[in-house]
Amino acid sequence: MEDTGSIVAFWLLAALTVGAALGVAAVRDLIRAVVLLITSFLGVAGLYITLSADFVAVAQVLIYAGAISVLILFAIMLTPRAGRDNAETFLQAPGLLLAGLVAFTIAFVSLEADWSVVEREGFEETASVIGEALLSKYVLPFEMASVLLLVSMLGAIVLVRPEGTPEEEE
């Protein structure tokens, strides 16, 4: 990617994403942390667009910025007497050390390794190709994902169901 627009877009979106993620780790209030988390998700969606991954970007906005952040908000709202603060446990110093080491190692390897990069124009259309791949080559993982969604939905319902059978309440 050579043109000025995409370079500026990349740096702005990267700063937005990483800055918002740092904010999620730093702010004291959980609700503000969720808002910053949504900002970070939207920044990642923008980075997907600069990588010409339009389908994944839309899925990111719909599922992460829409559904998962609402689920996290629900988790906060449904635990009203729990603390609202975003503080750390006694593991803060080792966690910071380990996180720094992991990020440094991944970044170092990414910069040093010789990736077989190829010059390629952006993808023309991704949604139709992804759809065909999902229903031909990846049809077994696709079906397993549907079973996984069903099982997790049922599991979530069973876990939080009140005690007693539903028939008694009629």
Partner 1 sequence: MSVELEHYLVVGALLFGIGIYMALAKRNFVGVLMGIELMFNAVSLTFVAFSRFVDSAEPLSGHVFVVFVITVAAAEAAVALALAVLVYRNRGTIDMDRMNLLKW
d(CA 41, CA 57): 10
Q: Taking CB under 8 A as the criterion, which residues in 19-38 touch partner 1?
A: 21-22, 24-25, 30, 33-34, 37
Candidate list 12, 35, 39, 72; residue touching partner 1; CB under 8 A: 72
6 binding partner 1? (CB under 8 A):
yes
d(CA 140, CA 58): 24
Of the pair 105, 170, the CB lying nearest partner 1 is at: 105
58 binding partner 1? (CB under 8 A):
no
42 binding partner 1? (CB under 8 A):
no
Token code pair at residue 82:
């729990």
130 binding partner 1? (CB under 8 A):
yes
73 contacts 112 by C-beta, under 8 angstroms: no
Of the pair 109, 170, the CB lying nearest partner 1 is at: 109
Shortest Cβ 169–partner 1 spacing (Å): 18
d(CA 106, CA 87): 27
14 binding partner 1? (CB under 8 A):
yes
74 contacts 25 by C-beta, under 8 angstroms: no
Dihedral class, residue 48 (left if φ above 0, else alpha if ψ from -120 to 50, else beta): alpha
18 binding partner 1? (CB under 8 A):
yes
Of the pair 27, 170, the CB lying nearest partner 1 is at: 27
Number of chain residues interacting with partner 1 (CB under 8 A): 88
Quick one: which of 151, 150, 143, 131 has its CA closest to 56?
A: 131
